[in-house]
Structures are given as structure tokens and as C-alpha cells.
Chains A and B, each alone.
Chain A
Amino acid sequence: MAERGFEISRLPGFATVAIAAFVILYLPIVTLVIYSFNASNSVAVWGGFSLHWYGDAWANQAVKDATVRSLIIGVSASVLSTTLATLAALGTTRRRAYRGQTLIYVMINQPLMVPEVVTAVALMIFFGIIKVATGYQGLGYLIAAHTAFCIPFAYLPIRARLESMDLALETAAADLYATPWATFRRVTLPLLAPGIMAGAMLSFVISLDDVVITEFVKSGGQDTLPTYMLGQLRRAFTPEVNAISTMLLGVTVVLLTAFFLLTRKKD
């Protein structure tokens, strides 16, 4: 019998801890998903498969309104932030380093560095002043706030894509007398499309998931799905929130898988 080889990189106990870590990471999420299909009223007791929590969530007008609001904000913020991030990525890559470029990077990435609760407080004060001055109470504030913190997430994949693109194709287009605009529309943009799609998906996921900034900025009756869930948690526990979580989770996993497929490096 051959002895098991001395595996050089194996450290005792590490694999056990690692497997345990993966189990711990997934067990709560999987449990949450399973129990969202529970027919019983209790979380701990399994009463058979049922979709009635999904039915309850769907019949609840507050949930419907929050879903619509989340989608409006998510789609607007995603489209706006991706557009702005695409322009900024074009302005900060593939050209000679220029004065202020570092400042632009810092400003774009700034939302990633400030604790969310601090940004939330700042926006609550600032938008509060504007609300009083203009009388406008609509969703515009939430869309503006979401657009801003989505910009760095949209910017990163677009910039990565631009940096890995071959300049020769655009030079070739210019050599063939394409105008700069035609080159951009017919060569650069199609090549950049996967990066833009990836940025749009990531920013949509980020907007859909935001709790803290939304909680502080929203006016009365402007709950999104996450702030609605947070409000429900304060009250008695309802498995309806399990159902909403599972649906949000599903959207996130689908979009993230698409994101990874889009940004995957070709072997």
C-alpha cells in the first residue's frame, strides 16, 4: 500500500475549518429559502411545502408598492450611473496621465470609503433643506442618492474592459476614414458592451439591496423592499419576509452569475 504523500501545502485542520466556513456561510441562507416554502406558521416546524407566504406577500399592497418603487429606483439609478460611469471611464483611461486624474479616481471611489450611515446622515440633512426650499418630495432624491453610490460599482468593470481593449481596432477604423463618432459607435461601443452590461447589473443589485441610505433619505410612504423588510423585522416576525428575501436573493444570484459570465477572462 502506498502511503499518502506528504502534501507540502496542507496544513493540519485548515481544510476542516474551510469546509465548516462554507457550511456556516450557506446554511442560514439555504434554511431561509427552504422555510419560505413552509406551510406551517412557525419557523422551526416544517409543515409541508406551500407557496402561501408568496401569495400573502403578493396580495399585500404595501409589498407591491415597495417592489414597484425598488424597481423604479433600481432601473433609473442603474441606467444613470452606468451612463455617467461609462463617460468617466472613457475620460480616465487610454490617455496620457493628466493633472487631477487621481482626484477624479478618489471622487469616483469615495462612496466606497465613507461609512454608509455617515453618507445617509449627510444626505438626510442636505435633501431635507432642499425639500423645504422647493416643496418637492418625490422619488428624485432616492434616485439621485442611489445613482451616486452606484457610480463606483458601474465604473470598475467598464474601466477594466476599456483597459483590456485593443487600441489597434480603433486606429484601423480611423485609418479607413471613419469619423471619431463613427469609430466610437461602430467599434468602441460594441467592444465595450459587455463591460457596460456588467456595470449596469452590478449597480442594479447594489441599488436593490440598499437599506441604510434609503432609510434616512426616504420621505414618508416611500418604502423600498429592503426598508419595508427592516420595518417588518421591528414588529412581529412574519415568514412573508422570508418569501420576499428569497425573491430578492434569486434576482441577485441570477444577475451575479450573468455578471461573472460577462466579465470572465477568455482562456
Chain B
Amino acid sequence: MSPAEENAIRSSARNGWLLSLPALVVLALAASGPLLIVVYYSFLTANDTGGVIRQFSTEGWRAIFLSYDIFEDRYTLADAHLTIFWRSVWLSLATTALTFVIGFPTAWFIATRPARQRAMWLFLITIPFWTNLLIRTFAINEVIRNEGILNTTLIWLGVITEPLRIVYTETAVLIGMTYVYLPLMVLPLYATIERFDMRLLEAAYDLYASRWTTLRRVILPIVKPGIIAGSILVFVPSLGAYVTPRILGGGKKMMIGNFIELQFLQGRNWPLGAALSVLLLVIVTAALLVYVKVANRDRSQGHG
């Protein structure tokens, strides 16, 4: 390689960095950088009036799982916290499962439409996807609340006499999260099903496979990367959900996101809130790394 070429490559790389720099500075100051402060705060001592005292302590981390009993002078398992974690995890898993059960047939339906119609159906999925989460949560709340459309219709039809009390229960949060995160499941599933070779179905049916066997033994294994991608894309925001459980859970059925808020905005225990944030971040990052790995493998295996 001639020195001139080498210089050109070097200056191209330098210009690349210089052009990206302004964006990186803003991101470092107002997005990634402050995350480090959260790690630092998780190792400080809580101030009873809110905020922190700059003194090293692991109390914030310990408080995630243990609470101190002043009367017996010993640590006991923090049941209230564990209830919230457990609720967050199972609601997120249940949301993922429900969005899959509804989302898979939907994605399949879109992918098997004639090419001209497909764009229209996809657009119908993307509109809710980009619509304000708050508005969508609010809209589903209108439907399921005690005097909402669901109850008034059911009473009018004579199916029930007393309104179903759905809001402020875990069921309400589950319905709400399934509703708001459904597009996140459909879009990656659609992307993999669209590349699915329908001739494989012919082959399966020629070999006397039933529809169910074909679904289980041919379709699902091949679209697995899409299933994993969709599941993670739904699971991750569900686990960190804040708006939906706040509105539909009504402060009683808190999830981790709301619990973190409680530690900060109500000024309860900042180091605990910081430790919880770091923990949430670690879990989410781990899930996303799996996603990236699967997505890369999918891409390298993809043909056409």
C-alpha cells in the first residue's frame, strides 16, 4: 500500500471520528455517562431526608434482598421486595407468552398475504407501535375499568350483573402490557416468517404430516430466531415497565420500575434505588446480548 493511500485511510478514519464526536459528547453527557453516577450512588449511604451521604456503604445492595430488623438486631429476607421482583418477572414472562400466542398467528397472517396487501397490514401494526405508550395504556384502561366499555357492554348483554373488577390488579397490568407490547412481538416474527420457504410445507404435507405436526416440527424450529428476538424485545421493556403498571396497577401492584421511582421521588432510599437500577440494567443488557448473538447467527444463516 502506498503512503498516500495509507494517509487517505487514516484521514478518513479521523474525519469519521470528528463527525461523530458532537453526537457522542451529547450522548455521554445526557445518556450513557450519568449511568456511571448511578453505580457510584448505589455504594453510598442513604440520607433519611432523601439523597445520599458521601460515605461508602453496601447497605443499598444488601437492602435489595434483606431488611434489617431493629428489634431482633438481625437481617431477614425482605419479603415485600421479593414480592415485587417476583411479580415483575412473572408478569413479564406472561406478557411475552401472551404476545407470542396472539402475535405468531398475526405475523403469519400478514406474511402470507399477497405482496401488495402486506405493506398495508404492516403499516397497521406500526401505527400503534409508534403511538404514545401513555395514550395506549390510557385507551386500554378506558376499556377495562369498572365503568368502562367492557363492563357496560357485558352488563347490557346480561352476561354479568356486577362489573368485573379488573383495574388495579395484576391481571390489568398483564392485559395492558400485552396490549402495548404486541407490535414488538409481531414485527420480528414477521421478518423471519417472510423469509420462510413455503415449499417446505408442501414437502411436509406430501410426507403426510398433519398441520399440527408441520407447525411443531417444521415451522417453529425454522422461525425460532424470530421467536427469540420477539420474546426479548417484549420481555426487556416489560421488565422495566413504568407507565403501564403505574396506571393499571394503581400503585398497589408495583413493578421494579415503580419501586425504583418510589426510592427516588418519594425520597425513601436513594442507594437502594440506585442498586435496583444497576441490577435492572445488568439483566436487560444480558438479555440483549443474547438477542444480538441470535440476530447475528440468523443473519449469517439467512439466504436470499
A residues near B (Cβ < 8 Å) are 8-22, 24-29, 31-32, 35, 42-44, 80, 84-85, 87-88, 90-92, 95-96, 98-101, 104, 107-108, 110-111, 113-119, 121-126, 129, 144-145, 147-149, 151, 155, 205, 208-209, 211-212, 216, 226, 229-230, 233, 241-242, 245, 248-249, 252-253, 256, 260
User: In the complex the two chains form, is A148's CB within 8 Å of B35's CB?
Assistant: no
Residues of B within 8 A of A101 (CB): 16
Q: Which chain A residue lies CB-closest to B103? A: A21
Asked whether, in the complex, the Cβ of B28 is within 8 Å of the Cβ of A28, the reply is no
Contact B23 A115, beta carbon cutoff 8 Å: no
The 8 Å CB contact of A31, one of B41, B143, B205, B264, is B143
A96 with B12: CB separation less than 8 A = yes
Nearest CB in chain A: distance from B303 CB, A:
19
Cβ-closest 10 pairs across A and B: A91-B19, A115-B240, A18-B109, A98-B13, A28-B139, A122-B34, A148-B30, A126-B34, A17-B105, A14-B105
Q: What residues of chain B have their CB less than 8 Å away from a CB belonging to chain A? A: 9, 12-13, 15-20, 22-24, 26-35, 37-38, 41, 102-103, 105-106, 108-110, 112, 123-128, 130-136, 138-140, 142-143, 147-149, 152, 179, 182-183, 186, 198, 201-202, 205, 211, 215, 236-237, 239-240, 242-243, 246-247, 257, 260-261, 264-265, 270, 273-274, 277, 280-281, 284-285, 288
Q: A116 contacts B284, CB within 8 Å? A: no
- Report the Cα distance A98→B12, complex, angstroms: 8
Q: Could you say which of B23, B34, B133, B246 contacts A123, with CB atoms under 8 Å apart?
A: B34
Check B131–A249 contact: CB distance below 8 A.
yes
Do A113 and B131 touch (CB < 8 A)? no
A57 to B42, CA, bound (A): 42
Asked whether, in the complex, the Cβ of B242 is within 8 Å of the Cβ of A44, the reply is no
Residues of the A chain whose Cβ atoms lie less than 8 Å from the Cβ of B127: 253, 256
Nearest CB of chain B from residue A116's CB, rounded to whole Å: 7
* The one of A17, A144, A216, A245 that contacts B135, using a Cβ cutoff of 8 Å: A245
B134 touches A117 (CB 8 A): no
Residues in chain B near residue A110, CB distance under 8 A: 27, 31-32
Contact residue among A114, A121, A216, A256 (Cβ-Cβ distance under 8 Å from B284): A114
Contact between A107 and B24, CB atoms less than 8 A apart: yes
The A/B interface has a contact count, at CB < 8 Å, of: 257
With A108-B27, A252-B130 given, is the CB distance from A43 to B20 under 8 Å? no
CB distance from B20 to the nearest CB of A (A): 4
Task: Say yes or no: A25-B142 contact (C-beta < 8 A), given A11-B108, A88-B20, A100-B17.
Answer: no
Contact A84 B35 (CB under 8 A): no
Q: How far is the CA of A257 from the CA of B102 in the complex (A)?
A: 26
Closest B residue by C-beta to A42: B147
**Which chain A positions have C-beta within 8 A of B236?**
115
Contact B139 A124 (CB under 8 A): no
Give bound CA distance, A44 to B280, whole Å: 39
Distance in Å: Cβ of B130 to nearest Cβ of chain A: 5
Question: A80 CB to closest chain B CB, in angstroms?
Answer: 8
Which chain B residues lie closer than 8 Å to A92 at the CB level? 16, 19-20
Rounded to whole angstroms, the CA-CA distance of A176 and B237 in the bound complex is 52
List chain A residues, Cβ under 8 A from B147: 42-44
Give chain A residues whose Cβ lies under 8 Å from the Cβ of B128. 25-26, 29
> Contacts A113-B288, A147-B30, A260-B123 known; A119 to B261 CB distance under 8 Å?
no
A111: B residues at CB distance < 8 A? 27, 31
Given the interface contacts A14-B109, A119-B35, does A31 sit within 8 Å of B211 by beta carbon? Answer: no
Residues of chain A with a CB closer than 8 A to B239's CB = 115
Asked if A122 meets B133 with Cβ closer than 8 Å, knowing A115-B239, A144-B29, the reply is no
Partner of B138, one of A11, A27, A32: A32
A18-B109, A211-B134, A230-B134 are contacts. A113–B34 as well, Cβ < 8 Å? no
Q: In the complex the two chains form, is A230's CB within 8 Å of B13's CB?
A: no
Contact A17-B37, Cβ < 8 Å, known A107-B32, A252-B130: no
Q: List 9 A-B contacts (CB under 8 A).
A: A24-B102, A84-B22, A108-B23, A108-B27, A111-B27, A114-B31, A144-B29, A233-B247, A256-B127
User: Which residue of A has the minimal Cβ distance to B257?
Assistant: A117
Please give the distance in Å from A188's CB to the nearest CB on chain B.
Answer: 13
- Which single residue of chain B is at the shortest CB-CB distance from A209? B132
B residues less than 8 Å from A18 (CB atoms): 105-106, 108-110
